[in-house]
Amino acid sequence: MMEPIQQKRRSTTDIVYETLKYAIIKMDLPPGERLIEQDISEKLQVSRTPLREAIKMLEFEGFVTRNMSGGVKVSELSISELKDIYEIERVLEAKAIIDVAKKWKKGQLSRMEQIVSEIRSGLEREKRSRDDYISEQYLYRYNELNVEFHMEIVRLYGNTLFLRTLQNIEGKHLRYAHISFSKDKDRFLNASEEHVNIFNLIKKREAEKAAELAFNHKIRAEKIITANLKDFLN
């Protein structure tokens, strides 16, 4: 749950924004939940001004919705939005991954290597675990790594508009992915192995194979998350 804010190195508005966004992604603030300024202000121990600015930022990104009377609630999830997210990601990444696999130079894959190394560590941890579900302690980080992996491919491609487009939907992707991974450990294990395999193909400069695997990876993810979302919405 949300805790009082102590850290002051960044602006209070930014911290409140990140705190609320994190709570929305984790479903601590579920779809349809009303955001009551007084309650949140007291819980986070911040004044109304940075809280209102943070809510405006979340509204701009589509995480919260304001009604005609001025009230604010957490935006609903929808299959339509999910499909739009994955369509954008597939189109942008298909172009980027072929270019990166063909043209990467020494040292350029170091960040992706770090991400994949952490994915491998999580994969081995969950394989050893006898739990049916991934613990909350690791789930959010695994989702972050998933997004960081695909974001790094587009960053290496170098198209600033592509990157900004993905950054704009990053949080929304995490929100849907959290539903999927929290319900489906096998999906997490398969997705993690696919990330490792995509990276290995990029490293070996097998561009078309890497792009095909990445495309099918996104198709499978969309189908599974859509099924989980239908259950969630029902």
**Segment 40-55, tens digit of pLDDT:** 999 999 999 999 999 9
DSSP per-residue codes, the chain: --------SS-HHHHHHHHHHHHHHTTSS-TT-B--HHHHHHHHT--HHHHHHHHHHHHHHTSEEE-TTS-EEEPPP-HHHHHHHHHHHHHHHHHHHHHHHHH--TTTTHHHHHHHHHHHHHHHHHHH---SS--HHHHHHHHHHHHHHHHHHHHHHT-HHHHHHHHHHHHHHHHHHHHHHHH-HHHHHHHHHHHHHHHHHHHTT-HHHHHHHHHHHHHHHHHHHHHHHHHHH-
What is the band of 2 on the pLDDT scale with cuts at 50, 70, 90? low
With bands split at pLDDT 50, 70 and 90, how would you rate the model's confidence at 135? confident
CATH of the domain spanning 79-233: 1.20.120.530
Confidence band for 6, pLDDT divided at 50, 70 and 90: low
Mean pLDDT throughout 144-160? 93
CATH 3.40.50.880 applies to domain 12-74: no
Q: What is the average pLDDT across 204-233? A: 93
Examine the pLDDT at 8 and tell me if it is beyond 80. Answer: no
> Which pLDDT tens digit goes with each residue over 61-100?
899 999 888 899 999 999 999 999 999 999 999 999 999 9
**pLDDT value of position 185:** 83
Residue 113 has pLDDT above 90, yes or no: yes
* pLDDT averaged over every residue in the chain: 90
Question: In the chain, where are the structural domains located?
Answer: 12-74, 79-233
> Residue 182: its pLDDT value, please?
72
Give the pLDDT confidence score for residue 88 in this predicted structure. 93
